[in-house]
Amino acid sequence: MMRTSVSQYMVKRPLYTEDDFTQEHEKVCRQHKTMLNHVQQYFTCNRQRAKNALLSVLPIISWMKIYRIKEWLMGDVVSGVSTGLVAVLQGLAYSLLASLPAWYGLYAAFFPVVIYFFLGTSRHISVGAFPVLSLMVGTVVTRLVPENGSQANITGFEGLSVDEQRAVVAASLTVLIGIFQLAMGLLQAGFIVIYLSDTLVSGFTTAAAVHILVSQLKFVLGLKVAGFSGPLSIIYTLEKIFGQITSTNLHDLVTSVIVMVVVLTVKELNERFKSKLPVPIPIEVIMTIIACGVSYAFSFNEYYGVDIVGRIPDQFEAPMAPNPQIFQETALEAFPMAIVGFAVAFAVAKVYSNKHDYVIDGNQELIAFGASNIIGGAFKSLVSSTALSRSAVQESTGGKTQVAGVLSAVIVLIVILGIGFLLEPLPKSVLGAVVMVNLKGMLLQVCHVPYLWKKDRPDCVVWLVTFVASVLLGLDLGLAVGLGAELIAVVYRTQFPRCCVLANIVGTDIYRDRKDYVDLYEPEGVKIFRIPSPIFFANIDFLRGKLIDAVGFSPLRVLRKRNKALRKIRKLLRKGQLSLTSKGLQTAGSLSGSEDESSVEDLDLPADFSGLPVQVNWRAELPASISVPPVNIHSLVLDFSAVSFIDVSALKGLKMALKEFIRVDVEVYIVACDPYIFEKLKSCEFFDEEIQTSIFFLTTHDAMLHILQRNPPLSVSEKVFKNTSELSNGVSLRSRDKTDKAPETRF
Amino acid sequence: MMRTSVSQYMVKRPLYTEDDFTQEHEKVCRQHKTMLNHVQQYFTCNRQRAKNALLSVLPIISWMKIYRIKEWLMGDVVSGVSTGLVAVLQGLAYSLLASLPAWYGLYAAFFPVVIYFFLGTSRHISVGAFPVLSLMVGTVVTRLVPENGSQANITGFEGLSVDEQRAVVAASLTVLIGIFQLAMGLLQAGFIVIYLSDTLVSGFTTAAAVHILVSQLKFVLGLKVAGFSGPLSIIYTLEKIFGQITSTNLHDLVTSVIVMVVVLTVKELNERFKSKLPVPIPIEVIMTIIACGVSYAFSFNEYYGVDIVGRIPDQFEAPMAPNPQIFQETALEAFPMAIVGFAVAFAVAKVYSNKHDYVIDGNQELIAFGASNIIGGAFKSLVSSTALSRSAVQESTGGKTQVAGVLSAVIVLIVILGIGFLLEPLPKSVLGAVVMVNLKGMLLQVCHVPYLWKKDRPDCVVWLVTFVASVLLGLDLGLAVGLGAELIAVVYRTQFPRCCVLANIVGTDIYRDRKDYVDLYEPEGVKIFRIPSPIFFANIDFLRGKLIDAVGFSPLRVLRKRNKALRKIRKLLRKGQLSLTSKGLQTAGSLSGSEDESSVEDLDLPADFSGLPVQVNWRAELPASISVPPVNIHSLVLDFSAVSFIDVSALKGLKMALKEFIRVDVEVYIVACDPYIFEKLKSCEFFDEEIQTSIFFLTTHDAMLHILQRNPPLSVSEKVFKNTSELSNGVSLRSRDKTDKAPETRF
């Protein structure tokens, strides 16, 4: 019985095999749901479910009902105005990343925001352009429409300028991304973000920051460099830029450097005096306004050749139908973009939902972004997700719900329809400088690498592979490579597990690695092998190898040698060169005979003693010409406590391995096996005449007690076993025991 | 002490936390090898190592030394001749798969075999063309050189016929594959075959069989159909073939059907009378010879328009330098081919090495195939690997070593230089029929699917995904998709593990799923949660969710509510609306006050009782206006026995989860943690003031005894706890205990 005496552990209970335990303790018969049940449940419809479905499709209903006007509205207004200003600036800047005229980025801060207001479940993210995604769009845009006009034969491109063609490509791509997202949302595929681990996202976004940095260099330096696409494009771009470095426009460079230094400094101050400032100083907006004024006053564009934003139309463009030919051309690239866009937005949304304690729904988010992008794309908006910096502004200035988002969209609307022309003299280099400054956080993720290297080597390799692949091969291929590396890392962790041989800590029921401790008890002839990981196709061979190393012999080889020896003995007996005496098998005259080569397969079967008057004792010495490798264990215990799953191919391998041991008369025990795995073994025909359920024991100690009972230690028999080599040259024998089913070790 | 009484399990030992155990049982300090040691060891050079290195690079030395001329030579000769005949036939047939003139396949049965003789470690495989690989070459060849000549601007193609251009492409590709294999061998990358699981290979080869079948249809039907390449090419090919089905050449069709029926029948007989036949009837060779004769006698080509093999040059072609431009064009496709070629050869070699009990070396095999393909490619040979059927012939007819291989190469040499012209009238449809018949085994792998579906759902999905992707997208892309699916399957198995709450089996130290048994003991306020898998980025959120489900409350939410309540109490005390009496906190007058919205982050910190005269007992009832969700457990035990690894992001998540519980005064214990994981937690700064190493116990029972000691069951205090809800409305209190560091549960 369980006792609670002071710091004593005392247990007295029957010894259990799994079978005994099941007999003594009745298992409750549990009805597991079949797939049909699940399907039925999923499609059951009643009033409550219908209402829930409606609420989950239009989350605005639930949060509008609890909207506290007095407490929340003020915050939302302040936040909306601040976010709107930032959104205008970022919209212009991120259009440059996408190689588009600046105003398309403004659309991304309007249409998607309005749609998300109705469909989104996050109350704090600011929907709109996301730099990484804009850059990915830019890669596609420059691939399909290079500087000198489209090469691809796309219908509908006739008579359009390069910029117009690019706008069509970007808009169609946005619709396609939206379609992918909507489809994934409807298929309930929101769970895929799980596969984008922190490490992967960190490596990927750092690489994206490098790409963005390089793409903005040309604006900051005031150079005209055509975009490249495809693997290694970053190298080609850098080569081109440094080839032209002497043509740098000093006015652009100086303006950019001033903007960068000021913004960086003020941001640092914002951070340091966070607690004292009511709202962080919107330095980017201030600098932009100043730059606009200065550029206008001194006619930067005209006199100094500074590239400016230029015309911003004071009306929306007419909506367009997406181009199906572009869908075909960009499908492979749109899919990773759909995932990246959603994953980033979801990650940011999760941070705020955790902080403010409400629930967001991945699938509904997919639907919301899908709809936003489809409708946004139809109005030529750039693809939308969220930008970390903008969401931070929305939340930190007091935004409580997406009402703030809608208000920011109103600000953008005012800019588009009313005062957009004021932004026309803004130098592109200033926008580039603002984008670059905002990369600081992403680039600083590099500092995480040494920490990872020290703490978790595989994770670090995943980071590095993702980063290098994303930088060199481009973001879409890089993401795929990173994903592969990440999955391989998971497999790798379980592929070369640290196996060990356990031994008993004297006086306890505890078993530990025998290399780690000194006060251990290891009965002669018993090996306890711990399998410290799941067993599956990638490690079953490794584990078998380690097991053979641990016991010190290959059971298959022993079995074959024994079977060969048996054939020889049988032959010699027939020829009369060997005779059965009371002392055992005795050599009569000189031995001869070549190896029997026929039917190699038979050698792998259990030893067949038919035709022999006695069963050979392999542990004793055999006649001189017959040699069989020694087997110095009689019991093998496999500790399955850490085996969390086993797959079909591993199951076959395990079965073979166990059989090989059983066939050389080693008793195999499996302990601490998970009940579900035990069930699976049963259903997969793991058990047969040789491998029986009775080899399963509850704990290592149960198995050990059982073994010691069968093979009492330090008795005469063990001494005999120990001293076999010192015994006479005679062959030990035992008469065959017909009642004994499984070959059994006797001394 | 350990006792071996009859079927009794009795243990009496001290109760152990990991810390106690480490103190009592000294751990041996083991010196683990650093990376430097490994590198040093790897580059150490001495005489023995140099000799071993030489032997491992030229395995022929070791097996030639033990060659038993008397016993082995005869077998090798018989086997060599039989294999040679089959190799000629297969060489011709597989060239058709590669869309090349027939004789290039013969070269593949000569050059690579000779190189492999010196470098290979397998003694039984027959090196040469492999149908799947030939087909993959064929896809590349038809992509670069379609029927109407090369479209790509490849230098050196001027003035060459289509067939000559194709031969150049195939040869360059072969060299490139060889370079990849050699490089992998030198980089010791032979282990990659581990990732090609049985399931993956089965799905992939079945899909390959389908492709081969479709590619041979045109020969069997006697149609001229241009090859397609790229995704969905199989659909286009079938469409084209069925569009032309009315132009079928009946002579070709009839010949093929006859050949197929005869070969299938005789093969069946071979199988049935395996034991009685000394050597299987070489029916393919016989049928080929008959077909040659008949075709020649009746001038099939001339009169009936049957497509025949045609001219076979009676000399070798001059070697050529590979074309680097083709390297560029085919690099992405050559890599999977290098892996497939090696993987198949290695898998076959392993079967025979296991059977005949010798060792093969994956890296040396890579080097051998790399060299074979580089040199073979230079002589315009088709890429080489091994064919299962041919290797089976070589082994079953008595081949003992690669001497048989070399002899088969001699037969091929005789055919090339001497009697090749005899094969010229052979109809291509007969070759196609022979290839098709040999697909039987590969296609029958489909029968494995229902078994897999029943036994192992994820494995079955991997098979199906690999198969469908390989059929539709082509073999190279299909392999990549299959590999991805396989890796995701491994992750998936540990991603949604079956967590359960454990309870004590009465009267034992055994803990089992409480839903499974009836005779269980679960002390009030204790939850034992079993984590049945490794913990990593893909399941940490799932596990946290399950843990919250199991305990029935979200600790973070409770903590926030408590902290909010504290703020309110503090405010009320300040206002004098609440007063401290001997009975606890008493309401004085009506309560009022709005929620305090400032600094949400602070709510996640441990409850701060400063400024309060007493510590609040959350389990007692609070004044009416203050409500905090109940916490009905005082101890949480996490069973880590199946946690075989934990990655950095999961570690962070776990730490957060534990802290949340500790902060709502639940004591957390971790039991049965792997020593290596314990070490890792230590090195990754898992432990701090809140989470201490003392929470680790050796077994669940140790932790349970410890908990029962701290919280004696069924005593007055538990009754109080049980009946809290029935107690008076007063707030229970306890005076603050300054000496108590960790917040502790008291009743």
pLDDT per residue over B80-139, tens digit each? 998 998 899 889 889 988 888 888 889 999 999 999 999 999 998 999 999 889 988 988
Q: Is the pLDDT of residue A70 over 50?
A: yes
Mean of the per-residue pLDDT values of chain B: 83
Q: Contact at 8 Å (CB) between B407 and B76? A: yes
Q: Contact at 8 Å (CB) between B129 and B91? A: yes
Q: Contact at 8 Å (CB) between B637 and B707? A: yes
Q: Is the pLDDT of residue B590 over 70?
A: no
Mean of the per-residue pLDDT values of chain A: 83
Section A655-670 average pLDDT: 91
Which residues in chain B have their CB less than 8 angstroms from residue A647's CB? 456, 458-459, 493
Neighbours of A345 (CB within 10 A): 31
For B353-396, what is each residue's pLDDT tens digit? 877 878 888 899 999 999 999 999 999 999 999 888 888 888 88
Residue A278, classified by CB atoms within 10 Å of its CB into exposed (0-12), middle (13-18) or buried (19+), is exposed
Verify whether the Cβ–Cβ distance A675 to B512 is below 8 Å.
yes
For B536-585, what is each residue's pLDDT tens digit? 988 898 999 999 999 999 888 888 888 888 888 888 888 777 666 655 56
Q: pLDDT at position A580, please?
A: 63
Section A465-494 average pLDDT: 90
Least confident of A150-159, A643-652, B201-210, B608-617: B608-617
Verify whether the Cβ–Cβ distance A4 to B493 is below 8 Å.
no
Q: Is the pLDDT of residue A742 over 50?
A: no
**Which residue is it, tokens 């919301």?**
A368
Cα A572 to Cα B108: distance, rounded to the nearest angstrom: 48
Q: Percent helix, strand and coil across chain B, each rounded to 5?
A: 60, 10, 35
pLDDT band at residue B722, thresholds of 50, 70 and 90?
Answer: very low
Strand ranges inside A141-214, DSSP E: none
Q: pLDDT at position B661, please?
A: 92
Nearest to A647 among B459, B518, B712 (CB): B459
Q: pLDDT at position B619, please?
A: 65
pLDDT band at residue B737, thresholds of 50, 70 and 90?
Answer: very low
**Type of residue at B294:** V
Section A520-537 average pLDDT: 91
Section A674-683 average pLDDT: 89
Cα A266 to Cα A262: distance, rounded to the nearest angstrom: 6
Q: Is the pLDDT of residue A410 over 90?
A: yes
pLDDT band at residue B463, thresholds of 50, 70 and 90?
Answer: very high
What is the percentage of chain B residues whose pLDDT exceeds 90?
25
Which residues in chain B have their CB less than 8 angstroms from residue A396's CB? none
Verify whether the Cβ–Cβ distance B510 to A560 is below 8 Å.
no
Q: Contact at 8 Å (CB) between B148 and B305? A: no
Residues in B 550-589 with any Cβ partner in A closer than 8 A:
556-557, 560
Q: pLDDT at position A421, please?
A: 86
pLDDT band at residue A535, thresholds of 50, 70 and 90?
Answer: very high
Q: pLDDT at position B613, please?
A: 63
For B661-684, what is each residue's pLDDT tens digit? 998 889 999 999 998 899 889 888
Verify whether the Cβ–Cβ distance A516 to B28 is below 8 Å.
yes
Whether A513 and chain B come into contact, CB under 8 Å, resolves to: yes
Long-range residue pairs from A144-148, CB within 8 A, at least 24 positions apart, any chain: A144/A169, A144/A326, A144/A329, A144/A330, A145/A169, A146/A226, A146/A227, A147/A226, A147/A227
Residue B244 backbone dihedrals phi, psi, to 5 degrees: -105, 10
For A335-386, what is each residue's pLDDT tens digit? 989 998 998 898 888 888 877 878 888 899 999 999 999 999 999 999 999 8
Q: Contact at 8 Å (CB) between B566 and B612? A: yes
pLDDT band at residue B501, thresholds of 50, 70 and 90?
Answer: very high
Name the residue of chain B whose CA is nearest to A704's CA.
B4
Section A160-172 average pLDDT: 89
Cα B663 to Cα B555: distance, rounded to the nearest angstrom: 8
Whether B497 and chain A come into contact, CB under 8 Å, resolves to: yes
Q: Is the pLDDT of residue A152 over 50?
A: yes
pLDDT band at residue A61, thresholds of 50, 70 and 90?
Answer: confident
Shortest Cα distance, chain A CAs vs residue B413, angstroms? 32
Cα A126 to Cα A246: distance, rounded to the nearest angstrom: 40
Q: Contact at 8 Å (CB) between A206 and A125? A: no
Cα A689 to chain center, whole Å? 41
For A270-296, what is each residue's pLDDT tens digit? 888 877 877 778 888 888 889 989 888
Q: Is the pLDDT of residue B733 over 50?
A: no
Q: pLDDT at position A718, please?
A: 42
Q: pLDDT at position B624, please?
A: 61
Cα B12 to Cα B1: distance, rounded to the nearest angstrom: 7
Section B253-275 average pLDDT: 89
Which residues in chain A have their CB less than 8 angstroms from residue B9's CB? 11-16, 701-702, 705
**Which residue is it, tokens 């040093």?**
B40
Section A523-537 average pLDDT: 91
Q: Contact at 8 Å (CB) between A431 and A260? A: no
Q: pLDDT at position A610, please?
A: 67
Q: pLDDT at position B666, please?
A: 92
Q: Is the pLDDT of residue B715 over 70?
A: no
Q: pLDDT at position B731, please?
A: 32
Whether B230 and chain A come into contact, CB under 8 Å, resolves to: no
Q: Which of A176, A140, A181, A170 is nearest to A381 (CA)?
A: A170
What are the DSSP calls for A383-450, one per residue? P-EE-HHHHHHHHHTT--STHHHHHHHHHHHHIIIIIGGGGTT-BHHHHHHHHHHTTHHHHGGGGHHH
Q: Which one is predicted more confidently, A726 or A543?
A: A543
What is the percentage of chain A residues whose pLDDT exceeds 70?
87
Name the residue of chain B whose CA is nearest to A195's CA.
B538
Shortest Cα distance, chain B CAs vs residue A541, angstroms? 9
Q: Contact at 8 Å (CB) between B189 and B366? A: yes
Q: pLDDT at position A719, please?
A: 39
Q: pLDDT at position B615, please?
A: 65
Section B401-418 average pLDDT: 91
Q: What was the ipTM of the complex prediction?
A: 0.82
**Which residue is it, tokens 């949302």?**
A185
Whether B31 and chain A come into contact, CB under 8 Å, resolves to: no
Q: pLDDT at position B602, please?
A: 65
Q: pLDDT at position B404, please?
A: 92
Section A456-464 average pLDDT: 92
Q: Contact at 8 Å (CB) between B442 and B435? A: no
Name the residue of chain B whose CA is nearest to A534's CA.
B644
3 state SS for B645-680: CECHHHHHHHHHHHHHHHHCCCEEEEECCCHHHHHH
Beta bridge partners of A308: A427
Q: Is the pLDDT of residue B439 over 60?
A: yes
Q: pLDDT at position B579, please?
A: 66
Which residues in chain B have their CB less than 8 angstroms from residue A674's CB? 532, 642
Shortest Cα distance, chain B CAs vs residue A141, angstroms? 24
What are the DSSP calls for B428-469, one per residue? HHHHHHHHHHTTHHHHGGGGHHHHHHHH-HHHHHHHHHHHHH
Least confident of B231-235, B288-292, B492-496, B578-582: B578-582
Q: Strand B500-505 to strand B511-513: parallel, antiparallel, or no bridges (unpaired)? A: antiparallel
Q: Contact at 8 Å (CB) between B402 and B150? A: no
